Amino acid sequence: MIDLKFLRENPDIVKQNIKNKFQDKKLPLVDEVIELDVKARKTQQEADNLRAERKKISKQIGALMAQGKKDEAEEVKKKVNESAARLEQLEADERELNKKVTDIMMKIPNIIDPSVPIGPDDSANVEIEKFGEPLVPDFEIPYHTEIMQKFNGIDLDSAAKVAGNGFYYLMGDIARLHSGILTYARDFMIDRGFTYCVPPFMIRSGVVTGVMSFEEMDSMMYKIEGEDLYLIGTSEHSMIGKFIDTINNEENLPYTLTSYSPCFRKEKGAHGIEERGVYRIHQFEKQEMIVVCKPEESQKWYEKLWQNTVDLFRSLDIPVRTLECCSGDLADLKVKSCDVEAWSPRQKKYFEVGSCSNLGDAQARRLKIRVRGEKGEKYFAHTLNNTVVAPPRMLIAFLENNLNEDGTIRIPEALRPYMGGKDLIK
């Protein structure tokens, strides 16, 4: 959510930002919120004047009573009573107008960074850099579920009977590989100075609307029936929520946390051959990283976060590339974002395995995450998040890039301590 004062003073910039994100249907919201804001401030001013007048009159009543002028005091009291109904109405109007302003502001997208390429959707995303040599072996690489099935490592049929499509059982060495990758990712991030955390896997609606747009919420989140609770789609949600309504001393920043959690997503509209297996599913596990920092440090941390993911994948001999997300591919709260994509030798192309985002002060403004500076001044923090690793997709990249011609799976040296010292899965 952007600053209302900024919108009030720069409506043309806000409108151009909406156009750059190809959301022209939201253009009328800018004028609408300005009009409501004028009414809200006018109502507040009248209410403040009335409250000041009542306070003045109350002192007058006290003085008259002290002088024994009871009749005169009663006459003045009538004026107070007459204004009470008007003040009550003004306060109700003020609450309603402010709520309408906030509701609209929640729908207006954040101001994107000037470096973000302009484009309508992910087809306009721009490759930044490649890391590692993408190779295609001279033998055929099966679909990832076929590789897993050769090791008796996956059972989709039983999962479909138990929970429906979009779920799976992982078994044996494949399940161990899945857990090993997560544990390795945890230790990798701890070694880089991040504090490990296991967060709540459910969050209240106030946190949900604080960390994501309404569109994302509708397409992703599972609601717990009869309770004000949602299953998290990523641990970033509860990790950022940890700082809700806090004032943090500047000298304690940045907060750098890495978290493990299961994740639950509706995945509306998922389809296509590459969506089968464990590519796009309703439940998976993930290692995440988040940063809460001073505004002037957020760009530096943005670069560090995506580099962490690149370094982790390269330590497991998986070629990756980074893509700058264009304006139309950015969720409304994001200032800047890039995807990390892993090489698929089978598909002979890259596919997304993680996403790094700088959200500026949008989440902090919604959740009231403030910082107290050296001189006592208060301002909103900046928040960032990035995927360390999400093993379902990571498993696809890992299996394809480490498959040998004889059907065995090579275990890179960095992962061997998490696989009982094995250098191969046979």
In a domain, residue 113? The reply is no
Residues 185 and 303 in one domain: yes
Of 51, 71, 105, the domain-final residue: 105
Of 54, 80, 105, the domain-final residue: 105
In a domain, residue 112? The reply is no
Residues 277 and 332 in one domain: yes
Question: Total domain count for the chain?
Answer: 2
Residues 258 and 362 in one domain: yes
Residues 90 and 170 in one domain: no
Of 105, 134, 154, the domain-final residue: 105
Region for residue 229 given its phi and psi (left: phi exceeds 0; alpha: psi -120 to 50; beta: otherwise): beta
Q: What is the pLDDT of residues 158-213, one digit of tens each?
A: 999 999 888 999 999 999 999 999 999 999 999 999 999 999 999 999 999 899 87
CATH number at residue 14: 1.10.287.40
Count the alpha carbons within 13 Å of 55 in the hemisphere toward its beta carbon.
6
In a domain, residue 273? The reply is yes
pLDDT score recorded for residue 69: 67
In a domain, residue 310? The reply is yes
Distance CA 282, CA 389 (A): 17
In a domain, residue 296? The reply is yes
Residues 205 and 261 in one domain: yes
Residues 298 and 160 in one domain: yes
Count the alpha carbons within 13 Å of 206 in the hemisphere toward its beta carbon.
8
pLDDT score recorded for residue 218: 77
Alpha helix ranges (H) inside 316-390: 362-367
Cβ atoms of 4 and 106 within 8 Å: the answer is no
Residues 225 and 355 in one domain: yes
Residues 101 and 188 in one domain: no
Cβ atoms of 319 and 374 within 8 Å: the answer is no
Q: Which residues of the chain have pLDDT under 70?
A: 57-82, 268-276
CATH number at residue 353: 3.30.930.10
Domain that holds residue 101: 4-105
Phi, psi of 404 (to 5 degrees): -95, 160
Distance CA 171, CA 166 (A): 17
The pTM for the full model equals 0.89
Distance CA 342, CA 309 (A): 11
In a domain, residue 114? The reply is no
Residues 40 and 132 in one domain: no
Residues 97 and 183 in one domain: no
pLDDT score recorded for residue 271: 46
Residues 277 and 311 in one domain: yes
In a domain, residue 249? The reply is yes
Residues 100 and 152 in one domain: no
In a domain, residue 180? The reply is yes
